[in-house]
Amino acid sequence: MQQDTASEAMRPAKADPPRDEVPPLAFADAEGAKRWTKSLLISAVTPLYEAVRGQLRALSAADFAPRERATIAEVMREQVAHLHTELARRYAGKPQPASDREVDAMEQALSLWQGLWEQYSACLKPLLEGDVELQGVKAKLLQRGLYVGKQLVIVNGLARRVTPPALWQELHAYYRLAELLDCAVTSVSDDLQPNAVGISCYSTYCHALLLGLADPCAMSVRQIELTDRWLAQWARKIFPYAQQRETEGPVLLVDLDSSVGAWLAATAPPSAPASMRFGYPGKLATSVRGRLKRLSAGASPAELQLGHDTSVEGATALLVHLDRKWYQLPVRDTDAVIEAIQLTAGGVQAAYFRVGGRTFDRQDPLGRLTFQGAQHLQTLGALTDYDRYKEEAERNWPWERWQGDYAWREASLIRRESTRFRWFLDQLVVVRDDERTRLAYVTRVAYSPSGELAISLSMYAGQPRSIAARPTSIAFAEELPMPALLLAETDGEKASLIVPPRTFNPSRMLRSMDTGPERKFRLTKLLQRGGDFERVAFDES
């Protein structure tokens, strides 16, 4: 039972050195392993990774009694968890495609957890054969294996990778063993985890399933961290029953013979296979919705055991997302069509160019020329409306063809070829189909195991129009002009402005610089803070 995960989308994973280059083992038993880890004075991440990964490889090649191997793995787990945190700073949530440095960090994190998983997996055959020394720790051994699998789900999510099928197969196999050995509900302790009272194989398994169901590729790094923390307390609210039960809400299904995680269904299938398990998320939904209600009534996140380090707005947004993923059946837009559309990205300036048809010139947004410039163009027989930066803009912000489900409000698209852009959550995107040009923002970024890049978009309903705007300070001093986009009013939404990041200040005034009557916009509310833009409400005077 050994996990085999590669860097799916970027390039082949780096292979470990040949077995004849395995470093010498630095210890002979668990006590020696403790002394070795305490002696590590290396602060740089790469040398520390090489030391820990090297000892894990040496441990795999060495001959240890299963109980001693499991104890040593427990010692090494603390170092692996520390390195995981440090490596995540380099790759977690980065725009995709990732850089070589980011890919290396991700592969190192995967390699560490996989190397640790090998130690627990090496104990499974002796456990099944009735090793006497393992009988008293079988629940803890299997729970630790499930914990490592859960951590690998997190690593893939932080790296914007869909959880590989082999990882789900491994997690299912571990839980099947817990059932077989009748220790799925046995409580175990874990000093490395806060709020770890009463954890078990089933709670850790459900923790991993719920993380996968929450779709980490659609969540920020902070949201993944919070969800992992909250599930340490909430995962036990769901149990994977072998027999169906009556329920009024949706049912969470998982097939232990499959290569996918859990999924929601309105009802369980009438003739389910023996490998299927049934979870009922009603209690979990009650807990999530109860917290949402209390937050709206003025309670603080700390009061609701959501942490002292999160805001009401952040906690609310995440709880809404989790409720949708854990208890609401997915609904496909009936208007969605499979279609090839064109996308481009690059922030507000790129959107200004693609919507308005000309580049934004901070010196003169209307494209007017100086007397000398106009004379020069006339000598060349050129138009006075010449856009001097258009060719550069075409190179920097090209249209790319993407394929997938495209509807009025959302789109789910894939691209098999390389992409010119780096994609990230809440990124401003310009969408062009056969009829119109629209604005959207990214809600999900994921690489599949087959190497396809997938993104999901939320579309703005209002028709966009590019405008050049100049902020006016309280002292009425003129500031540099900025590109902006005006989203027209629709039946469901008032008109709004898309502006560059850090533009919004309550009551800040912007005035248009376009030809025609001057328009003044007083900014009233920040509607959305995107990754490379802000969407703001305004009053017009």
Q: Identify which has the larger pLDDT, 248 or 299.
A: 299
Calculate what percentage of the chain has a pLDDT beyond 70: 89
Residue 351 pLDDT greater than 60, yes or no: yes
Residue 537 pLDDT greater than 80, yes or no: yes
SS3 308: coil
496 φ, ψ to 5°? -145, 170
- Give the orientation angle of helix 66-91 with respect to helix 45-61, to 10 degrees: 150
Residue 8 pLDDT greater than 90, yes or no: no
Mean pLDDT of 4-22: 44
Residue 522 pLDDT greater than 70, yes or no: yes
Residue 361 pLDDT greater than 90, yes or no: no
Quick one: DSSP state of residue 96? B
Q: pLDDT band at 4, cuts 50/70/90?
A: very low
Write the pLDDT tens digit of every residue in 426-481.
999 999 988 899 999 999 999 988 889 999 999 999 999 999 999 886 555 667 89
Residue linked to tokens 């992409």: 419
* Domain regions of the chain by residue span: 1-232, 334-541
Write the pLDDT tens digit of every residue in 69-88.
999 999 999 999 999 999 99
Residue 7 pLDDT greater than 80, yes or no: no
- Give the orientation angle of helix 312-327 with respect to helix 221-234, to 10 degrees: 70
- Give the orientation angle of helix 165-180 with respect to helix 138-158, to 10 degrees: 160
The DSSP secondary structure of 157-200, one letter per residue, reads: HHTTBPPPHHHHHHHHHHHHHHHHTT-TT--B--TTSTT-TTB-
| Residue 365, pLDDT score | 54
| Residue 528, pLDDT score | 95
Write the pLDDT tens digit of every residue in 109-124.
999 999 999 999 999 9
| Residue 247, pLDDT score | 80
Quick one: DSSP state of residue 430? E
**Separation between Cα atoms, residue 184 and residue 140, nearest integer Å:** 10
Residue 330 pLDDT greater than 90, yes or no: no
**Separation between Cα atoms, residue 188 and residue 182, nearest integer Å:** 14
**Separation between Cα atoms, residue 320 and residue 472, nearest integer Å:** 38
- Read off the amino acid at residue 79: Q
Question: Mean pLDDT for the chain?
Answer: 89
* Nearest CA-CA partner of 362 in 375, 348, 372: 348
Which of the residue ranges 445-454, 511-520, 530-539 would you say has the lowest mean pLDDT? 511-520
